[in-house]
């Protein structure tokens, strides 16, 4: 998988992500995130439908997406689905089916004070990392930057960083130029679905000590 810079002429946006999803240009993990985003933002579904209607033309003219996202990978999302529906109050239906268990029943791994992670290895390939993140109210993810693009979809609660506040249904897109420390807001525990092009790079005072925790 190439880990080069994003080839779009401007910083990617959620509309750009929806466009790539509608064109079938995303791999399993990113396609799953985009589909979950559409389920949480049904008003965007019409945008995706219009793009699909003119997909042949856009496939020839749209800028390529370099996040290692291969056009033939998106359909493989279905292969990761377990038998039978899974109902969960946190995750939208498509993501709940992929995960296979309610968020409350997952074997979360500790990733720092008040921060936990659940890897979705069935969605990972070509170096892409897919995971659920859980941050307790008032706690923060370690300070970090990125080896490539990071897409984070908020499922429950909210977090804030230098880019602003992100609540349920919001997506933050960050790249190597962003060095941030997302902090969960008071209220509901913050749960997110995150997809990374490459492992994040911890940059805080204890970054080197904690880095190994985020490589496994």
Residues 6+ apart with CB under 8 A from 67: 6, 27, 30, 128, 148, 149, 197
Average pLDDT, the chain: 79
Q: Residue for token digits 């902090």? A: 183
Task: Record the pTM.
Answer: 0.77
**Measured distance CA(156)–CA(69) in Å, rounded:** 27
Name the pLDDT band for 39 (thresholds 50, 70, 90): very high
Closest CA to 216 of 105, 110, 126, 123: 110
Q: Quick one: CA dihedral 51, 54, 60, 61, positive or negative?
A: negative
**Measured distance CA(183)–CA(202) in Å, rounded:** 15
Residues 6+ apart with CB under 8 A from 99: 86, 88, 91, 106, 118, 120, 132
**Measured distance CA(19)–CA(198) in Å, rounded:** 22
The region of weakest confidence among 51-55, 72-76, 183-187 is: 72-76
**Measured distance CA(205)–CA(192) in Å, rounded:** 25
Q: Is 79's pLDDT higher than 70?
A: no
Q: Is 152's pLDDT higher than 70?
A: yes
More confident call, 77 vs 200: 200
- List, in order of start, the domains of the chain with CATH numbers: 103-215 (2.60.120.10)
More confident call, 70 vs 50: 50
């Amino acid at each position: 998988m190439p880990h080069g810079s994003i080839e779009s002429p401007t910083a990617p946006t959620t509309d750009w992500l929806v466009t790539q999803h509608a064109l079938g240009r995303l791999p399993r993990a990113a396609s799953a995130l985009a589909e979950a985003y559409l389920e949480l933002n049904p008003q965007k579904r019409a945008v995706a439908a219009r793009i699909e209607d003119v997909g042949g033309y856009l496939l020839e003219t749209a800028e390529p997406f370099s996040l290692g996202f291969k056009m033939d990978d998106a359909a493989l999302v279905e292969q990761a689905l377990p038998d039978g529906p899974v109902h969960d109050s946190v995750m939208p239906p498509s993501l709940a089916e992929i995960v296979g268990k309610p968020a409350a029943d997952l074997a979360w791994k500790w990733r720092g004070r008040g921060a936990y992670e659940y890897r979705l290895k069935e969605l990972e390939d070509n170096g892409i990392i897919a995971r659920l993140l859980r941050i307790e109210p008032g706690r923060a993810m370690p300070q970090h930057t990125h080896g490539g693009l990071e897409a984070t979809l908020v499922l429950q609660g909210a977090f804030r960083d230098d880019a602003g506040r992100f609540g349920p249904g919001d997506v933050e897109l960050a790249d190597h130029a962003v060095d941030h420390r997302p902090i969960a807001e008071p209220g509901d525990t913050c749960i997110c679905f995150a997809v990374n092009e490459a492992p994040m790079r911890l940059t805080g005072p204890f970054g080197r000590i904690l880095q190994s925790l985020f490589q496994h």
